[in-house]
Amino acid sequence: MNHRYSRLLLLAASAVLFAACAKAPEQAVTAARDALTAARDAEADQYVSELYVVAADSFAAAEAEIETQNARNAFTRNYDRADALLAFATETAQIALTRVADEKEAVRVANEALFVETDAVLARVATLMTQAPVGKDGNLALASIREDATLAGASLEEARAAQVEGDFVRAGAIASAALEKGQSLAAELETAIVASGRRPRG
């Protein structure tokens, strides 16, 4: 057997042994899972949800790919795609983690502006209620509007409390709902005032 032929056989045998020894990328799985956990603990799933979802989806795809390769013949397993997916998941989760603080602050600031706007709308509702037409039906409608306005005001206070607790996403959602309710009540009152032949003041 000549030297060249022996070398080819050696290379072929090495390739077979390498394939047979291919193992699932357990360390990469752990690294990606840890990165996702750190990002989730920092609330990246709420404040940079798009990035977090991309990272989580990549991790899920990597796990599925590993299962696919594990089910194959040991000599044909290839974890290259899983490695790439896990690396992408880890990097993306880490990026998400670094962006959480800035996004939280942006939401906090936006909420403060939302609180001011909602306060103004609810004050407008209170002013319009003093101008609304009275009478049996009018009084009944005013009572209902007053109750709704009170509930909207309570929701705004709940939103402020959530803001103080650092739950900015919840605070924004509650305040947005209160603002929408206040705007609806103001529009209803303005329509009733105009229908009575007057013009809303204030």
Place of tokens 């998941």: 89
**Is the pLDDT at 51 greater than 80, yes or no?**
yes
Domain identity same for 82 and 117: no
Place of tokens 């990272």: 55
Residues 120 and 69 in one domain: no
Question: Which residue would you say has higher pLDDT here, 5 or 29?
Answer: 29
Q: In this predicted model, what pLDDT tens digit does every residue of 92-135 receive, in sequence order?
A: 999 999 999 999 999 999 999 999 999 999 999 999 999 888 76
* Residue 7 and residue 94 in one domain: yes
One domain for residues 139 and 157: yes
SS3 content of the chain, % helix, strand, coil (to 5): 85, 0, 15
Residues 183/124, Cβ–Cβ less than 8 Å: no
From its phi and psi, is residue 167 left (phi > 0), alpha (psi between -120 and 50) or beta?
beta
46 and 122 fall within a common domain: no
Helix axes 49-70, 26-41, angle to 10 degrees: 160
User: Largest alpha-carbon pair distance within the chain?
Assistant: 113
Last residue of a domain, one of 35, 64, 99: 99
Is residue 201 situated within a structural domain? no
Query: Sorting pLDDT into bands at 50, 70 and 90, what band is 33?
Result: very high
Is the pLDDT at 138 greater than 60, yes or no?
no
Question: Is residue 200, in this structure, part of any structural domain at all?
Answer: no
What is the number of structural domains in the chain? 2
Burial of 1 (0-12, 13-18, 19+ CB in 10 A): exposed
* pLDDT of res. 9: 43
Q: How far apart are CA 37 and CA 2, in angstroms?
A: 57
The pTM (predicted TM-score) of the whole model is 0.76
Q: Provide the token pair at 105.
A: 């602050």
Same domain, 70 and 109: no
State which of 80, 99, 118 marks the end of a domain.
99
Q: Are residues 163 and 79 in the same domain?
A: no
Both 117 and 141 in a single domain?
Answer: yes
Phi and psi dihedrals of 197, rounded to 5? 95, 10
Q: Are residues 30 and 88 in the same domain?
A: yes
Contact (CB, 8 A) for 66 and 24: yes
Does 95 share its domain with 163?
A: no
For residues 87 and 127, state if they share a domain. Answer: no
Residue 202 falls within a domain, yes or no?
A: no
Instruction: Name the residue range of residue 60's domain.
Output: 3-99
